[in-house]
């Protein structure tokens, strides 16, 4: 099934790039105020068709389908799909957008694929099997290389934060730590940077949805990292009946390498 999921992510990415090269993205604003383009819809259709063949009967929670009111009944095993994560980055043509596909089991992301169409990087994380990355170029995937988080540096941390959604609460959290370098990035690339040992900390003290985080979370956990809420618990998935928020909305969280940014001395 993993090969089919990777192929679906790449095919969706190719469709995204076709529109990315056009002058008109066909952009509009959804009911929640977030932007959406023709690329989102085309990529999601490709992924949904592929998952229906690769894993028939497994429910799929996909961002644009949910926005249209199509919310499946999710059991212990389901997919989370964000066909174009980082639509603002897509609209700004800076390349920091991704295709995200994740498999959830018992509330945890056990498999994740993150593809960056503009950069050609493919990240895969599998629970119990580790994380790896490869380049997709000239119609083929190159050699896979393992990725792992790095130990906390003795000096300052390299922190990666949202380019489009950097809240004051996130800034205040970052100010608790000695920071060697602060890097802004879009989409689930922030998880992948930490997973690959290119950053140490990604705090997100602002709203996200499960499809925004699940695939990158799977990659980071498989690489030896952690994604925890502010009470120290692992971020969970399949949160449909939430009294204080909408279905599939995430609480604030912190993604990091093998240390505890909530309790360890800054």
| Known binding residues | 63, 82, 84-87, 212
Pick out the residues of the known binding site for Mg(2+): 63, 82, 84-85, 212
Pick out the residues of the known binding site for substrate: 63, 84-87, 212
Query: Tokens 């639509």 — which residue?
Result: 87
Contacts 24+ apart (CB under 8 A), 126-135: 126/2, 126/218, 126/222, 127/218, 127/221, 127/222, 129/222, 130/222, 130/223, 131/195, 131/219, 131/220, 131/222, 131/223, 133/192, 133/196
Q: Is 100 helix (H, G, I), strand (E, B) or coil?
A: strand
The span from the CA of 255 to the CA of 247, in Å, is 22
The span from the CA of 154 to the CA of 200, in Å, is 12
The span from the CA of 5 to the CA of 14, in Å, is 14
Contacts 24+ apart (CB under 8 A), 136-145: 136/10, 136/13, 141/6, 141/10
Written as six digits, the tokens of 88 are: 């603002």
The span from the CA of 266 to the CA of 157, in Å, is 10
């Amino acid at each position: 099934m993993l090969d089919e999921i990777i192929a679906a992510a790449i095919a969706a990415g190719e469709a995204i790039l076709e529109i990315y090269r056009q002058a008109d993205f066909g952009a509009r604003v959804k009911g929640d105020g977030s932007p959406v383009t023709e690329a989102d819809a085309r990529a999601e259709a490709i992924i949904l068709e592929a998952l229906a063949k690769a894993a028939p009967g497994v429910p799929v929670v996909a961002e644009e389908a949910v926005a249209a009111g199509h919310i499946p009944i999710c059991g212990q095993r389901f997919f989370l799909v964000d066909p174009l994560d980082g639509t603002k980055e897509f609209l700004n043509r800076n390349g920091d957008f991704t295709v995200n596909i994740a498999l959830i089991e018992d509330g945890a992301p056990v498999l994740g694929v993150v593809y960056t169409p503009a950069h050609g990087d493919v990240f895969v994380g599998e629970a119990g099997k580790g994380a790896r990355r490869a380049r997709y170029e000239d119609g083929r995937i190159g050699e896979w290389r393992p990725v792992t988080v790095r130990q906390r540096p003795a000096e300052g941390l390299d922190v990666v934060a949202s380019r489009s959604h950097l809240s004051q609460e996130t800034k205040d959290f970052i100010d608790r730590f000695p920071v060697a370098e602060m890097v802004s990035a879009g989409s689930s690339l922030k998880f992948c940077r930490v997973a690959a040992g290119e950053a140490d900390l990604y705090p997100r003290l602002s709203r996200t949805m499960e499809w925004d985080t699940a695939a990158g979370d799977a990659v980071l956990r498989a690489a030896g990292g952690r994604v925890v809420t502010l009470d120290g618990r692992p971020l969970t998935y399949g949160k449909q009946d939430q009294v204080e928020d909408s279905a599939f909305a995430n609480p604030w969280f912190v993604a990091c390498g093998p240390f505890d940014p909530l309790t360890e001395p800054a």
